[in-house]
Structure 1
Amino acid sequence: MRCLPIAALLLPLVFGVGSATVYVEDALFWKAYGKSELREALGVGGGAGENAKFAKNVVIFIGDGMGPNTVTATRIYKHGERGQLTFEKFPHVGLLKTYSVDKQVSDAASATTAMFTGVKINQKVIGLDANHHLNDIVHCEEPTRIGLETLATWAQEAGKHTGFVTNSRITDATPAALYAQTSNRKWECNAAVPSHAVHCKDIARQLIEDEPGRNFKVIMGGGRQSFVANTTATLKEINDKRVCRRTDGKNLVDDWIKDKSSKHSSYRYLTNTNDIVSMNTETTDYVLGLFSHGWMPMEYRRDKSIPSLEKMTETALQILSKSENGFFLMAKGGSIDLAHHRSMARLALDETWELDKAVNRTIHLLKLWNVLDDTLLVVTSDHASTLSINGYPDRGNSILGVAGKSQVDYVKYTTLLYAIGYSPKQIYTRQGKEVIRQDPTVFNTLSTGFTQQVGIMEETGIHGGNDVAVYTRGPMGHLFHSTHEQSYVAHAVAYAAKMGPYQNGLNKATSVIFTKCYLMLTFVVICIFFNY
């Protein structure tokens, strides 16, 4: 029985005997867990007769860093305490647990991969399960380069038109999680990929050259610098040294144009608002819009030459809605998190408001086209920030104003503070043996340039580990009703739209331990067969 000793060695891995790991939270684990969550949700039942109806269209809005406190503060900022944002009026609300496989507090790469694939992964990795770690290059070697499938892949296989819009770079973590597989989210262009990872394709190339990226009908956002090789003139225009610079001589925009021309498809490459306004969406099949070298400007600095998130979303819907089989769109408000990283709460609230305007415009268009009842709308976040709402400010007080005065140091403090984050100001000064906190009212706390005080200073903002809310309306929206794993989003959306692993509905959920036992039994049977 030559195989049985091997089988005996495998038993601890399956059943967790001794100090061996009980399981690895890999793709198999999370897919099984997602199915069990979905089965439980289906047993709860829905309202308004939505249980039996499936979604022809799906629109997912991601507010980057839009934790619960950001939503609350934006609501008060724009509508007062009794008001509501557009997406807060959605009939179904749940919570998502945002931790990743290896971290209690997630980053955007691991969080959005979980949402778009149904599989939780390690921090700073995109599209690869927990067997892959940061800077792991084994996945780059053909033919073993196999990543996780996403909602975009499943939608395309179902014949739906797909696309995404973002005011971040289109190679940033959230959009990249729709189409890329990489062990480092920073590998956005070739210059960012280290020499020892020569076989690893950068994120920009994956978007243009591989599926599902090359099949997107709509791609709009920032990050042009990762797609076009640098020229001296271009470099002079860039002040942000963090922008990825393409150095291999490739022009991926030209490659995208050649690909669409070879298929005799109608296409438009857009660089400004005028390009969008002049475009005939009825006769255009493919759109690539790159409106800035790096991150698109925040709303308070955006001029009319750069389209808003609302305008990009509207244009994307006009292109995608021509599909008879429905469509899938992801819209990301990326600058919410960018503002939080700078401890600039007002800008974060302004950017959240911009996301809400895009949601409102979407609902208006879907009503106009009489397809609102066929569309599942999901609004959520990848992770929270460390923004807090403090003190006992009077009702009606500006959320950006002063909450009160500390009874310890007798210095005023603002309603909005950050537990940890970046601060360009000297918050504390020493006077003899005493440490004095700066009075924030020496600045205009309502201005766009004001940075909140922080409890612990860091070079950049830090994410929060809070659960984030998920708001839904439309077919199968009731499947989001309690506290879910973040990876549940992909399972529920795929089931609602009858695509991917749920194109034929929900098969009997297979638990992880059952699967491992089945594999173990199969191995033993093979051993017995060959030994006898």
Structure 2
Amino acid sequence: MKIVVSLLIMLLLQSTLPLRIGIEQAQSQLKPKNVILFIGDGMGISYLSTYRYMQNGEHQRPLKQTFFDQYLVGFQMTQSSDPKEEITDSAAAATAMATGKKTYNGAIAVDLHKKRIKTILEEAKQVGKSTGLVVTTHLTHATPAAFAAHEVHRSMENQIADDLIDDKINGKPKVDILLGGGRDFFVRNDRNVAAEFVQAGYQFVQNRQQLHHGGDHILGLFSPKAMPKAIDRPAQMPHLAEMTKAAIKRLSKNPDGFFLMVEGSQIDTAGHDHDIVAAMSEVNEFEQAVQAGVDFAKQDQETLVLATADHSTGGLTVGNGDGYRFTPQVIKQVKHTPDLIAKEVLKSKDIEETLKKHIQFPLRQEEIQRVKLAVQSKNLDQVDQALETIFTKRSRVGWTTNGHTGEDVPVYAFGPGKQHFTGLLDNTEIAKELFTFIK
């Protein structure tokens, strides 16, 4: 009897399998109503490999996959068209993904001749969709700026803030939800851009509580410049997943759909600093934000979620020195970034106790002496670098540059239209495909 029942179950499963495959294929062919584009700034493949190792135990075999891994569909090439530099910066890479056009390093949605190029966010707004930008750096920084402003150089952050209120579509600001840092670029002696947003019907929010009570048009500026790293962020400031959910909640009210760009901004900053603790903290925060987007898309079934990077940073290597050891699990035993720990150490009367407070593995005597020697200089950068060196050596990661690196970066996708992003892409193809969905 048990054999007969088992055979019947197998036949039933086999008979429904083509139907389920057909439904999945049909869903993948649909045109998405909503698009959420996640960009991990500086998040090259070595960051994701390190993150996978870190999430597993030191002797875990085989390694369990991260949330990202199940959605990997391809890779994209990142080079810009800069006449002097072979490796892209964030501005040129974001311009490529926002407009479908290559340009020079530093360009904010302008071409090689410094002429404006239409962005996917602008197209979405013109056809009646709602739009949003969510970041943890300045809202005027290179990546968000390239989706909603047009300037000849990324350093023109005051002008970029002005663009966000001045450069309207259908008589209104082109971005409905703006969440991140950079208050100093919006509230200035020469112009109060934040006040002008309020006059245009936006709510100006500056902390987590205000964010959750805000309306459908929000300018959220939670810090003067970049927000603190995720591992250091105070309770009154929202995290990236929280801001992502808040944006989706408001943007999804539009029956015509929405376009949202979310940046994990400070993976890149950590890479420039050779700070593996901050880097993994930022990748973790980015993963949680992407998961929030996918969770919405699974429920909504009309949303395409893309996650990728603009380039890699710092030349992070999975392994360093002699032998074949790699132990990034120690990173989880450090409770704050080296930068924050360094600030506390410089103020402390008991350096060793302060180190124990933040570092949960026992430091070797030579490591403690390295920090104490740096403290004698009374230079924050030297103390910070001493701590970064300890964590780099303990985790056995390596770094090859203080700048960017030019390798391909991964592309992850979920939802209708994901099949358009498989294989090896150029970064301009992100925008080119999205334009076909939005128009």
TM-score (norm 1): 0.63
CA contact (8 A) 1:68 1:468 kept: yes
CA contact (8 A) 1:95 1:483 kept: yes
What SS is found at the alignment partner of 1:389? coil
Hey, what does 1:466 align to over in structure 2?
407
Hey, what does 1:329 align to over in structure 2?
260
Match of 2:90 among 99, 108, 118: 108
Match of 2:211 among 276, 295, 300: 276
Hey, what does 2:156 align to over in structure 1?
187
- Residue type of the alignment partner of 1:351: E
CA contact (8 A) 1:100 1:120 kept: yes
Hey, what does 2:129 align to over in structure 1?
160
Hey, what does 2:356 align to over in structure 1?
none
| Larger helix fraction of residues | 2
What SS is found at the alignment partner of 2:231? coil
Distance 1:445 1:304, change over 3 A: same
Does 2:150 align with 1:219?
Answer: no
Equivalences for residues 415-434 of structure 1 within 5 A: 424=382
- Residue type of the alignment partner of 1:272: N
Measured after TM superposition, the shift of residue 319 of structure 1 is 0.5
Hey, what does 1:68 align to over in structure 2?
45
Share of identical aligned residues, percent? 31
Hey, what does 2:346 align to over in structure 1?
none
**Take 2:160 and 2:108, find their aligned partners in 1: how far apart are those partners?**
10
What SS is found at the alignment partner of 1:109? helix
CA contact (8 A) 2:297 2:304 kept: no
Match of 1:345 among 270, 273, 276: 276
Equivalences for residues 122-141 of structure 1 within 5 A: 122-132=104-114
CA contact (8 A) 1:342 1:451 kept: no
- Residue type of the alignment partner of 1:180: A
Q: CA offsets, 1:69-110, max 9 Å, x none?
A: 0111112212456222222211x5111111100232100000
CA contact (8 A) 1:336 1:351 kept: yes
Q: CA offsets, 1:25-71, max 9 Å, x none?
A: xxxxxxxxxxxxxxxxxxxxx97234531001100100000001011
CA contact (8 A) 1:64 1:332 kept: yes
Count of residue correspondences = 360
Distance 1:221 1:394, change over 3 A: same
Hey, what does 1:291 align to over in structure 2?
222
CA contact (8 A) 1:74 1:350 kept: no
CA contact (8 A) 2:54 2:329 kept: yes
Hey, what does 1:384 align to over in structure 2?
312
CA contact (8 A) 2:319 2:326 kept: no
Structure number with bigger Rg: 1
**Take 2:239 and 2:384, find their aligned partners in 1: how far apart are those partners?**
34
Match of 2:241 among 296, 304, 310: 310
Hey, what does 2:194 align to over in structure 1?
253
Equivalences for residues 199-218 of structure 1 within 5 A: 202-211=159-168, 214-218=173-177
Q: CA offsets, 1:303-358, max 9 Å, x none?
A: 11111111110100000010101111111011100111110012111101100001
What SS is found at the alignment partner of 1:86? coil
**Take 1:379 and 1:86, find their aligned partners in 2: how far apart are those partners?**
12
- Residue type of the alignment partner of 2:35: V
**Take 1:227 and 1:289, find their aligned partners in 2: how far apart are those partners?**
11
**Take 1:395 and 1:322, find their aligned partners in 2: how far apart are those partners?**
47
CA contact (8 A) 1:291 1:306 kept: yes
**Take 1:66 and 1:160, find their aligned partners in 2: how far apart are those partners?**
29
**Take 1:258 and 1:397, find their aligned partners in 2: how far apart are those partners?**
49
What SS is found at the alignment partner of 2:433? helix
Does 2:187 align with 1:228?
Answer: yes
What SS is found at the alignment partner of 2:74? strand
| RMSD, aligned CA | 2.9
**Take 1:277 and 1:47, find their aligned partners in 2: how far apart are those partners?**
35
Does 2:117 align with 1:148?
Answer: yes
Hey, what does 2:68 align to over in structure 1?
87
- Residue type of the alignment partner of 2:182: G
Does 2:58 align with 1:117?
Answer: no
**Take 1:425 and 1:222, find their aligned partners in 2: how far apart are those partners?**
26
Measured after TM superposition, the shift of residue 211 of structure 1 is 3.0
**Take 1:477 and 1:209, find their aligned partners in 2: how far apart are those partners?**
35
Equivalences for residues 380-419 of structure 1 within 5 A: 380-385=308-313, 386-390=315-319, 392-394=323-325, 398=329
